[in-house]
Every structure is written in structure tokens, then in C-alpha cells.
Amino acid sequence: MDIATIIGILLGIGSILGGIILMTPDLGMFGSVSSFAIVFGGMIASVSVAFPLQEVLKLGAAMGAVFKGSKERLGDEVDGAVEVAETARKGVAELESKVSSIDNPFFRDGVQMVIDGMAIEELTDILTTRIDYRESRERTQADLFKNMGVMSPAWGMIGTLIGLVVMLSGFGEGGTDTLGAGMSAALITTFYGAVFANLFFLPMSAKILTRVAFHSTQQSLYLEASRLIHQKKHPIIVREKLNSYIPPKEWKREE
């Protein structure tokens, strides 16, 4: 699990509840099934219109990916690539016995292309294309969450307008119950829309974009490693070149 995401959401919910409790002990007044239905249902309807159905159906998996943690460190992956480069200098047979132990499928495919004798230009073109289209797929998920974040406050405003209509109709009828219900719905739907957007969907979009950038750097590192292995570069050169992709504090030197 991504601890930062969990802590952020819990802190946000805690801040909201804490603020409400300091103002009033009646939390029940902030619960409204109708307001939730307007905001959440309307938001799902909007993204269903804006995006293909297959992307909308992946919404649950995309949310799960946001909460999924990762312990990957580029410094460790440089070490693994250098180790493969050392093996490659011993010969194709040794490299072929090593390829099955490579955990990352992108790098494993790159090394397999080297073993298969693929030209370096073809290897580069194939792996670059994979990076580009993975970015495109993942950015679609980020765009989905971003649009949900934009549409939530808009549907909150629609709920507010509905509440105002109900409230104003109460003036004509002289019903204080209708007046209070309309005012409550008018404010709570705006509240729900703002919370959904700013605590959940817009931050989730930003989280996905951060991971897109990380995975692109990771795969670019592995692409360069595959090229250097293809060229049978010395492990010292491989490490120095791959160090360019990682923060200086993670750099290691060949002894």
C-alpha cells in the first residue's frame, strides 16, 4: 500500500471532521443521500460520455493502482543492469542463462532482443514505441481522474441549483420544512463536489502522472542499458552512463 496516499486521505477526512465538530456536534446534518447521488452519479455519467466505456470500466482498477505502493529504486536497478552487462561480456550463452532471472519484463525483453541478434536500431525503435504507448495508456487514466475532479464541483453546483429551486418554492408555499431542506441540499452538494475533487480525484490524477514520469525514467534507463549491453560496453561505462538517470545520492562507483 502507498502509505502517503492513505495518510493524506485520512488527514484530509480528519481535518474536515475536526472542523465540523469544532463548529457543531451534529454531524448528521452533513449527511445527504440525495446530494451524494447528484454529485457522484452525475460525475460518473459525465465521464461515461467523455471517455470510452472500456476506460470507465477500468476505474476501479485505476483507483487500486493509486493505492498500490512501490519499493522500486532506480539505484538498485542500475546495479542489476550493470550485473547483466558484466555477464554479457562473457558471451551470449552466459547472457542467455541470466535473462530468466531479470525481474523487470521491459528489461528482460530488451536483453532477449540482444540475445536474438536484433539490430540496435530495431531494438531502440521497439522499446521506444513501448514507452510511448505505455505513457499514452497511463495518461488516459490520469485524464479520467482529472475530469472527475473537474466535473464533481460542477455537479455540486447543479445540486445547489436544484436545492435553490426547492428552497424558493418553499417561499411561495410558506413551508419552512421545504425551505430548510432546499437550503441544506443547496450547500451540501457543493460541499460534496469540492471534497470529491480536492481530496480524491485531482490528487489521484497527480499521483498517476508522478508514476508515469517514474516509469518513463525507469524504462528509458533500461532502454539505454539494453543498448549498452548490445554494444558490449564495459560495466564501468554502463554504470556511469546509467547514473545519469538517478539522483546523485544513489550513485555507486565500480571498484
pLDDT tens by residue, 21-59:
888 777 777 888 888 999 999 999 999 999 988 888 888
* Higher-pLDDT residue of 51, 68: 51
* Model pLDDT, residue 90: 87
Quick check: 254 pLDDT over 60? Answer: no
> 81: pLDDT confidence band, cut at 50, 70 and 90?
very high
Alpha helices, DSSP H, located in 90-248 = 92-99, 105-115, 120-173, 176-195, 202-230, 235-242
Q: Give the C-alpha separation, 72 to 2, whole Å.
A: 12
Cβ 5 vs Cβ 207: under 8 Å: yes
Q: What are phi and psi of 151, to 5 degrees?
A: -80, -25
Do 95 and 111 touch, CB atoms closer than 8 A?
A: yes
- Comparing 129 with 33, the larger pLDDT belongs to 129
- pLDDT in the model for residue 125: 96
Region 93-103 average pLDDT: 89
The reported pLDDT for the residue numbered 105 is 94
How large is the average pLDDT for residues 63-80?
A: 82
User: Model confidence over 168-179: pLDDT tens digits?
Assistant: 776 655 555 556
SS3 category, 70: coil
- Tell me if 98 sits within 8 A of 87, measured CB to CB: yes
pTM of the model: 0.82
Span 127-152, mean pLDDT?
A: 93
